[in-house]
Amino acid sequence: MAKKRPQTKAEQPKLIDGEIPVVGAREPCPCGSGRRYKACHGRAAAHAVTELVHRPFEGLPGEGDWVALRELVPAATVELTLKDGLPEDVPSVTLATVLPMAWPALRRDDGSVLIGLQNDTASGDLSRDLADTLLRALHAEPGTPVQGRRAPAEGPRLQDVLDLQAPFEPVVQSGFEFWVPDAENATPEVTASLERANAAAIPTAKLTGVDAAYWCETPEKNHLRWVMPHPEEQLLDALARLHAAGRSNLGEGTRLVGSFRAHGLTVPVWDLPSGVTADDVEKPATEFAERLAAALAATEPLTPEERRARGGLTNRQVTLS
């Protein structure tokens, strides 16, 4: 059998990964190696796609509100402040829970930008995908939507793009009329999308006395869903202590029923009687926050009753993301 000739590799151009554009997996890699993209620089990009960032909003002001707007709130907007300021032809950038036709972003006719938060993303880092969409929207043609794409593996994240000293102040909307400032001239597709979205929106309100707590109304009962920043195990211990002591409710007829996991944070959920409004739970929520702070500071082992309460809470957890 003939011997295989030793294979020599051609010298490859020295390029920085950030300079390599993203191409199709089977196309030649732009670096000039002669190999397919997926076998060359695409490996790093593929790894970035599959590597999940569990807390994509960590480090941003209002992390709990980012999570709530992504997973729980049907209609809300937030004015965003960019670290480097806005281009002269972009009067504002607004984060919205949802945009018409599920667009990732929209550059309006007046140059303003809307970014949709509740969209599927191509990679495991929601923050990087949103930053990529935002930056592309700043330079899109006015009057056009911006489509989603896989963000470059080394591209900036929201934490790099936004002003981290600016407040994050969500405004909960009763519907999606903010989509169309000039409703009479909206396309039939956008008008139909608006009607469908409004019909599906659940009445929601943000509490003012505590952070990242949202009341919502459903036909059978109301709920309070409260995104909390504490480490999950510590929070579950604290909730179990309060639950076992009969101090986990928010007033008569209310009940802590479980929690969600979402983007690295835990979201306790209370059932509320249908007649209980957001205003009705403002004071009880503030009082509960004080009880929770004391329970979080406790260091003694859980009692058998508290362990049973913790097991019940753990069994009623649902992971959203």
**pLDDT in tens for each of the 321 residues of the chain?**
333 434 434 344 444 444 566 666 677 888 888 887 767 877 665 554 457 899 999 999 999 999 999 999 999 999 999 999 999 999 999 999 999 888 999 999 999 999 999 998 878 999 999 999 999 999 999 999 999 888 988 899 999 999 999 999 999 999 998 988 776 777 788 788 888 889 889 999 999 999 999 999 998 899 999 999 999 999 999 999 999 999 999 999 999 999 999 999 999 999 999 999 999 999 999 999 999 999 999 999 999 999 999 999 999 999 997
Q: How far apart are CA 96 and CA 38, in angstroms?
A: 35
pTM recorded for the entire structure: 0.83
Q: How far apart are CA 139 and CA 147, in angstroms?
A: 13
Nearest to 117 by CA among 107, 126, 109, 108: 126
Residues ≥6 apart with Cβ < 8 Å to 125 = 48, 51, 52, 53, 56, 151, 157
Q: How far apart are CA 6 and CA 253, in angstroms?
A: 79
pLDDT at 30: 81
Q: Which amino acid would we find at residue 143?
A: G
pLDDT at 10: 38
Cβ pair 199, 191 in contact under 8 A: no
Cβ pair 161, 93 in contact under 8 A: no
Residues ≥6 apart with Cβ < 8 Å to 50 = 124
Q: Are strands 93-96 and 76-79 parallel, antiparallel or unpaired?
A: antiparallel
Region of 134 please: left (phi>0), alpha (psi -120 to 50) or beta.
Answer: alpha
Q: How far apart are CA 55 and CA 53, in angstroms?
A: 6
Q: How far apart are CA 136 and CA 13, in angstroms?
A: 29
Residue 317 DSSP label: E
Q: How far apart are CA 56 and CA 13, in angstroms?
A: 34
Length of the chain: 321
pLDDT at 71: 97
Contacts 24+ apart (CB under 8 A), 300-304: 302/237, 302/240, 302/241, 303/244
- How many CA atoms lie less than 13 Å away from 263 in the CB half-sphere? 22
Q: How far apart are CA 115 and CA 99, in angstroms?
A: 8
Residue 162 DSSP label: B
Nearest to 317 by CA among 274, 257, 254: 257
For the chain, what is the radius of gyration of the CA atoms? 24
CB atoms within 10 A of CB 198: 15
Helices 232-244 and 278-297 pack at an angle, to 10 degrees, of 110
